[in-house]
Structure 1
Amino acid sequence: MPPRKKKTHSVSTSAATSAASSAFPSRAPSPTPRQPFRFFDLPSELRLRIYEEALHVREPLDLDPDNPRLIHPRLALFLASHRVHEEAYRVFYSQPLRLFPSHGRFFHTKLPLVARLPPRYRAALTTLELRLGPGWSAPPRSQKISENLRLPECVNLRTLKVFVELDPSERVFDGFRGKGATEETYKWFCLDLLRGVLGQVPGLETVEIDAFPSVRRDAPLVVGLRREIEMAGLRLVWGPLRGWEKDRDEQGESGLERGTVGLGLGGAGAGGGGVMRVVEVQA
């Protein structure tokens, strides 16, 4: 068999190939690598605002079955760097924290969230919420102010929010208060909780009382809370939900009811014979 001849490219073929390749532009050079955003070059006020947007939630912090879905992803920010953690955890724990769980499988826990925090996180707390009403027919024995809560370590705590869901001293609760309970049993239970917090938190300055619309301002529980706050020499403010005003003392009047006065509903101008009739609707 004769030897195979090598292929040779003609000049015309090479010229055609060169012309074809020149018709298509060469690949653009790779773009310049993007530089990382220098977060800590931002002013501290702007960094804190970003932390608030990323970390703050609507409800007070609490032991809740939904925490792995709602809270845990936010805390991944703590792992970005040591400096981010030092700035971010103070912002996260500056939002209200509920002293005792109000529902769910943690309702009877002996270690609420404040007791489970490391000391430096407790020291960052600025606001506690004490919610009164859940478990009123049989107050949980686990809800008590003891040294296990480590409240004296909350050195930056300045505000206590007391939210009253209901007052079982009302006659409508007769027959539902539990075995051996009187109309004042739950009131004294709540007042003991308040005294315990006031006695153990070193720097508390303000106590806010708020409630659902069905709770009257002159209800025995609310009156007792107010007396304890005044005796402790702390500043008392009224919360926004109930609609109370500090300088008004109408019995059971809510913001909705005051609004009907301006509309003339139920009064003489509405054919009511001079007697205002209000129907209180509870959501």
Structure 2
Amino acid sequence: MPRSSTQVKPARAVGSKSRHSGIPRGVSQQSDILGAVEKLTIAGLTDDIPIANAQKPRPAAPQPFRFLDLPYELRVEVYKYHFANTGHVLDLDPLNYKRVHQKLAILRTCRTFYREASHCFYSTHPVRLFPTHPGRFFKTKKPLLARLKPGQRQSLTALELRLGPGWSKPPRGWVVNPDLGLADCTDVRKITVFVECDPGTDTFSGFRQPNEFFEGFAQSLLENVLKDMPWVDRVEFDAWSSVKKSGTLVQRLIEVAKSHHLKVTWGPERGWTDADEPEPRRVLNMYAPLPIASTDGRRNVVTTA
């Protein structure tokens, strides 16, 4: 019998092969799904959603900074920054424990630190020859310079001699002798002489010792210091605003420096220069009678009422 045109073709079995890939269709889809699942991560599935009890990544252990690998010039700059708030001049002071001693603890790190940081500290800080703090150190027989080690004194580049305290009766410890340690200060090139007060002015009249006692004492003190340190090349003079450059005390100190053929410089506090100090202006007394001008026919004569 002839085949009918409406005959339905038999359906393809489920397990039959694909026309193009030769792999069963169900197996191909299943493998694609498994491959996509394998590519997914927990972070991708939980984007912006915290996971309870999730293990946090461990932070990397901090590595120590190798400070000694820096060049010497950079290490010196670090030392200067470390000692920035220790004061300008070193002297015996009760506040040294908080201001200086804690900073000097860095010297206990190693020998390299001690050698470099110690030289940086003492070469950038002048040391006061005799203590001036009005306390238990003022009359000490052993100033700070005598308490330093010889190696520390060799690093010094400047000293300060402050005059004024004890003008009526200087302490017995203000003596230049070998125990002071000036022979070890071979790198010192500048000595600053700072005058706090001049007993030769009229303000101290009736209280000072006669015959210019303090002027002679200060002159002899500076003379002995310069005699033990012939390598010093300049002396810097400075003072408070009440001290005059033209006073007897300052002039005798300048003569000592010039007698040793040293260069004389001026500090920033007083603002002195090589020129003569100008005389202060006379202040007109507001209660004094005002001058009245009168003419006698030949010239103007000023009289007072």
- Structure whose residues are more often helix by fraction: 1
Deviation readout 1:27-62 (Å, 9 max, x if unpaired): 234222211112122232221121112124233101
Name the aligned partner's letter for residue 197 of structure 2: L
Q: Does the 8 Å CA contact 1:152/1:202 hold for their aligned counterparts?
A: no
Is residue 2:233 matched to residue 1:226? no
- State the shift of 1:172 in Å: 2.0
TM-score (norm 2): 0.72
Of 30, 45, 50, the residue aligned with 2:58 is 30
* Alignment equivalent of 2:138, drawn from 107, 121, 133: 107
SS in structure 1 of the partner of residue 136 of structure 2: helix
Query: Whose radius of gyration is greater, 1 or 2?
Result: 2
SS at 1:34 equivalent: coil
Q: 2:156 aligns with which of 119, 122, 125?
A: 125
- Structure 1 residue corresponding to 2:184, chosen from 150, 153, 158: 153
Match of 2:212 in 1: 184
1:134 aligns with 2:165: yes
Aligned: 1:193 with 2:228: no
Q: Hey, what's the Cα distance between the residues in 2 that align with 1:252 and 1:166?
A: 18
Residue identity opposite 2:221 in structure 1: L
Residue 66 (structure 1) shift: 1.1
The equivalent residue for 1:87 is 116
Gaps of 5+ in 2: 1-49, 285-290, 292-305
Q: Does 1:97 align with 2:127?
A: yes
Seq. identity, %: 44
Superposition TM-score, scaled by structure 1 size: 0.77
Q: What letter corresponds to residue 134 of structure 1 in structure 2?
A: P
What is the identity, as a one-letter code, of the residue corresponding to 1:196? N
State whether residues 217 and 252 of structure 1, in contact with CA within 8 Å, keep that contact through their aligned partners in structure 2: no
Q: Deviations over 1:246-280 (max 9, x none)?
A: 2x112456xxx9xxxxxxx99xxxxxx9xxxxxxx
Q: Shift in Å at residue 202 of structure 1?
A: 4.0
What corresponds to 2:199 in structure 1?
A: 168
The number of aligned residues is: 232
Distance 1:162 1:128 in 2: 9
Match of 2:5 in 1: none
Select the structure with the greater relative contact order (CA < 8 A; seq sep ≥ 6): 1
Deviation at 1:210, TM superposition (A): 0.1
Counterpart in the other structure of 2:277: 250
Detail structure 1 runs of 4+ shifted over 3 Å in the superposition. 22-26
Give the 3-state SS of the residue equivalent to 2:193 in structure 1. strand
Q: Work out the CA distance in 1 between the residues paired with 2:122 and 2:276.
A: 35
Deviations 1:48-101, CA, capped at 9 Å, x for gaps: 121112124233101111111111100111012211111000111111111111
What is the aligned-residue RMSD (CA, Å)? Answer: 2.1
Q: CA deviation at 1:183?
A: 4.9
